[in-house]
Amino acid sequence: MNDMTPTREQREAALEGMGCKRKRVEDIRFTQGKGKYVDDIKLPGMLHGDFVRSPYAHAKVTKIDATEALKLPGVIAVLTAEDLKGVNLAWMPTLAGDVQMVLADGKVLYQNQEVAFVVAEDRYIADDAVQLVEVEYEELPVLVDPFKSLDPDAPVLRPDLDGKMEGAHGPRKHHNHIFNWSVGEEEATDKAFAEADVTVKEMISYHRTHPSPLETCQCLASMDKVTGQLTVYGTFQAPHVVRTVASLLSTIPEHKIHVIAPDVGGGFGNKVGVYPGYVCAIVASIVTGLPVKWVEDRMENLSTTSFARDYHMTTEIAAKKDGTVTALKVHVLGDHGGFDACADPSKWPAGFFNIVTGSYDFPVAHLSVDGVYTNKAPGGVAYRCSFRVTEAAYCIERGMDVLAQKLGMDPADLRLKNFIQPEQFPYNSALGWEYDSGDYPTAMHKAMDAIDYRGLREEQKAKQEAFKRGETREIMGIGVSFFTEIVGAGPSKNCDILGVAMFDSAEIRIHPTGSVISRMGTKSQGQGHETTWAQIIATEIGIPASDITVEEGDTDTAPYGLGTYGSRSTPVAGAAIALAARKIRNKAQMIAAHMLEVSEYDLDWDVDGFQVKGNPERRKSMKEIAWAAYHAPPAGIEPGLEAVSYYDPPNMTYPFGAYFCVMDIDVDTGVAKTRRFYALDDCGTRINPMIIEGQVHGGLTEAFAIAMGQEISYDAMGNVQGASFMDFFLPTAVETPHWETDFTVTPSPHHPIGAKGVGESPNVGGVPAFSNAVNDAFGFLGATHIQMPHDAWRLWKVAKDLGAHG
């Protein structure tokens, strides 16, 4: 070996593989404004669509007159439900087993519902024409409060379901009832409550909000009438699913549909579903034979395409005097809006809400969820979370604090007392999940030490005394959150979307010179897959990440996958990538054995190639092996070097974390300042620590927004309030707290590289940390549970009601 030969460490570093803080390769184009989004795509002869929307939340549509609109030069067509009926598309199926109007069919169920679709030569003309379409409405009584949905005299929202008392998820008990989902042991739970030393009960609401990605939903549909080929560019988190759904809806054969998701500017669950805009653009392109683009504006996005949360969770915990929990009982009232368009795996009407037992060893539990209709926009998507896991984490983490307060116990100590212990994994929860791995006490102690938790409690005590003496008008709260997520949907045994199992896929192809093209069934919307997927491959097959191209989002080239949401990409596609890479490495080993004239069993893998056991000087690098695979493949071995893997995960993964929030609240204004926020995440094996940190920062910022003010609300008439960034709280860098991040590593035992997924943990764990800090601050004044969002006026009102204003 001469001085020029790189050391093992140098060779390893050159790969920029797993564990490396590799800079995001996609940022080169994003930071220069060179990303290519749907609205950047312009096709010859392209037309533009825009919607006529309902000003009313609940009304009959008695007449639609497009005469004046059609007179406007440049207007090509105005589509209504009647037109769509001709192609059987006035209604479409939802992912939740319901049906949804594409365009208003005789009535509207929420404000801004799509009524007619104007197609024109440019966007300006389209919008001008929208103003000219005359629609006559007959107002109907509006149902806004989900707690009144099931009143005997509640207005009938869905006459189309008249007499249909069997829904997609079992019997319906009322004309506005969608489903009841019940899980756990009700009798045993009731018994535990009857025998408990202490019980608590609180109705904990998680308000309606919206994922609000910076790029709104949009698509460009282009039907080539000569070839019969439909091409759809769209902001899709799951392009293959869109292709399958489009084929099922349109009856165009699936091989004649080409779906392309170019750069996507954030999804957070907003871009999983199929929206009327997509259907209308496709139909308009089929009708006109020209490309048709539809781009939502901000108000349309916030008020129509997929809200999140809106879960009202009556939570009861039973415990012994010493704080040991003995049972959990939760009833959820889920407000689904006018249609049930939740984006959950098909068999899960309330997603994975049954993770609600959280990080605690509940011997028994019972959960019941009722979904109801209201005159609000449909949705219920997983806003940066695995399906309904944010709601569940908020429910249990708030509930544990309520119990701690009743017991007079410290909330961190109560959690430590009730944690599932490391030796209990794999752990079967009372509501049916098998937690794969975890070490909660270690994470909790590390976090508590890092922030000097006991010291903070002493400071808080002193501040409370000072407040009582009138020396300060500020109160201090310490929010504790210890969440367990369930991500990586999912095993085919329990997860599918419209019958397609929720596997994912990777294809890796090595070029003769040893560089790589790889394609996955996932679709990055900012997660940095182009960077991290290459790192997995780099470590697995010893080719530098910089020599690996990652492509996603084109259904003609990428293998079929279920897309990116619910922190599933790393748990599912990440595994497929590792397994495809290992197939390549296995073949490479055979080729190397031939090249080195030894048995393949006499070879060891070493960073970026194979070496002969006991004689490491004799080695072949992956680059040399790749060349041989194309140049001189050994006899009996197929030329080329590539592999595909479809991965059906054996189980979900269960990331967890300990979050602490320290907050000071000015009782005279209600303004809350986050002094400190510490987030410890355990996402198993860490592929790119820098990207993890970025993910955590982003998710915490969303959690901060949601907890402290971000909401979609409605007035009594069903008018959506604040559907613009003036009122919808999207924090800037100025408002956003400073984030401290930390980690422990408990690899997933069933995942090929031990990774669990992290993108959504900070949103899931962050919201309870903020809300618990607020509640903790007001606790000594007598508050037991304060509903979110915790914006200034609401906290001022809390202070006032608790007598803090004198």
Partner 1 sequence: MIPGEFTYHRPASVAEAIALLVDHGDEARPLAGGHSLIPMMKLRMAAPEHLIDLSGVADLKGVSQEGDVITIGAMTTQAEVIGSALLTDKLPILRETALLIADPQIRYVGTLGGNVANGDPGNDMPALMQCLSASYVLAGPDGTREVSSRDFYEAAYFTALAPEEILTAVKIPVPAPGHGYAYEKLKRKVGDYATAAAAVMLTMSGGTVSSCAIALTNVGDTPLFAEEAASILDGSTLDRETVKKAVAAAEAITMPASDGRGPAEYRTKMAGVMLERALKRAAERAQG
Chain residues in the site for partner 1 (CB under 8 A): 123-124, 127-128, 131, 297-299, 668-671, 709, 721-722, 726-727, 729, 731-732, 734-735, 791-793, 796-797
In the complex, least distance from residue 562 CB atom to partner 1, rounded to whole angstroms: 33
Least Å distance between CB 299 and partner 1?
7
Least separation in angstroms between CB 71 and partner 1: 16
Nearer to partner 1, 1 or 734 (CB): 734
CB of 409 closer than 8 Å to CB of 177: no
Q: Closest approach of Cβ 313 to partner 1, in Å? A: 25
Nearer to partner 1 (CB atom), residue 299 or residue 802: 299
CB of 338 to partner 1, least distance (A): 24
- Give the phi and the psi of residue 274 in degrees, each rounded to 5: -105, 130
760 counts as catalytic = yes
**Cα 718 to Cα 57: distance, rounded to the nearest angstrom:** 5
Catalytic residue status for 237: yes
- Beta-carbon contacts of 576 under 8 Å, excluding residues fewer than 6 positions away, are 503, 504, 505, 506, 520, 521, 645, 646, 647
Long-range pairs of 79-83 with CB within 8 A, sequence gap ≥ 24: 79/103, 79/116, 79/117, 79/118, 79/119, 79/280, 79/283, 79/284, 79/287, 80/104, 80/115, 80/116, 80/117, 81/105, 81/106, 83/283
**Helix ranges (DSSP H) in 115-185:** 123-132
Amino acid at 52: V
Residue 521 sits at the vertex; the CA angle it makes with 519 and 524, to the nearest 5 degrees, is 85
Distances 531 to 569, 583, 683 between C-alpha atoms, Å: 13, 21, 18
Q: Contact at 8 Å (CB) between 217 and 305?
A: yes
> One of 218, 237, 527, 589 is an active-site residue; which one?
237
How far separated are the first and last CA of the chain, in Å rounded?
Answer: 82
Q: In sequence order, what are the beta bridge partners of 508?
A: 518, 643
Q: Could you say which of 114, 397, 711, 760 is catalytic?
A: 760
CB closer to partner 1, 116 vs 581: 116
Nearer to partner 1, 297 or 449 (CB): 297
In angstroms, what is the minimal distance from the CB of 355 to partner 1?
33
Residue (293 or 594) nearer to partner 1, CB:
293
- Of residues 656, 204, 195, the one with CA closest to residue 415: 656
SS3 content of the chain, % helix, strand, coil (to 5): 30, 25, 40
Output the smallest distance, CB 693 to partner 1, in A: 24
CA distances from 273 to 84, 211, 292, 326, 343 (A): 20, 13, 19, 39, 6
Whether 384 is catalytic: yes
Alpha carbon distance 790, 236 (integer Å): 32
Of the candidates 158, 309, 384, 415, the residue annotated as catalytic is 384
DSSP state of 58: S
Distance between CA 369 and CA 432 in Å, rounded? 15
Comparing CB distances to partner 1, the nearer of 112 and 524 is: 112
Q: Which is nearer to partner 1, 88 or 721 (CB)?
A: 721
527 is catalytic: no
Q: Which DSSP category does 449 fall into?
A: H
Which C-beta is closer to partner 1: that of 527 or that of 710? Answer: 710
CA distances from 111 to 55, 59, 139, 375 (A): 5, 10, 12, 8
**Whether 351 contacts 102, CB under 8 Å:** no
- Min CB(11)–partner 1 separation in Å: 47
Among 20, 217, 342, 385, the active-site one is: 385
CB of 669 to partner 1, least distance (A): 6
Which is closer to partner 1, CB of 4 or CB of 734? 734
Cβ 132 to partner 1, closest distance in Å? Answer: 11
Q: Which residues contact 47 (CB under 8 A, 6 or more apart)?
A: 76, 119, 120, 121, 284, 288, 290, 291, 292, 293
What is the rounded CA–CA span in Å between residue 150 and residue 138? 23
Q: Pick between residue 481 and residue 710 the one whose CB is nearest to partner 1.
A: 710
For residue 399, is the peptide bond before it cis, meaning its omega torsion is within 30 degrees of 0? no
Question: Is the CB of residue 670 less than 8 Å from the CB of residue 452?
Answer: no
Least distance CB 50 / partner 1 (angstroms): 8
Q: Are 284 and 49 in contact (CB under 8 A)?
A: yes
Residues forming a β-bridge with 295: 218
Q: How many residues does the chain have?
A: 806
Contacts of 457-463 with C-beta under 8 Å, sequence gap 24+, read 457/410
Helices (H), 170-322: 186-195, 239-250, 276-288, 298-303
Q: Which helix (H) or strand (E) holds 167?
A: strand 166-167
Sheet containing 603-606: which strands, arranged edge to edge? 603-606, 609-612, 615-621
Backbone angles phi, psi at 318, to 5 degrees: -110, 140
**Nearest CB to partner 1, comparing residues 512 and 722:** 722
Residues known to be catalytic: 237, 384-385, 760
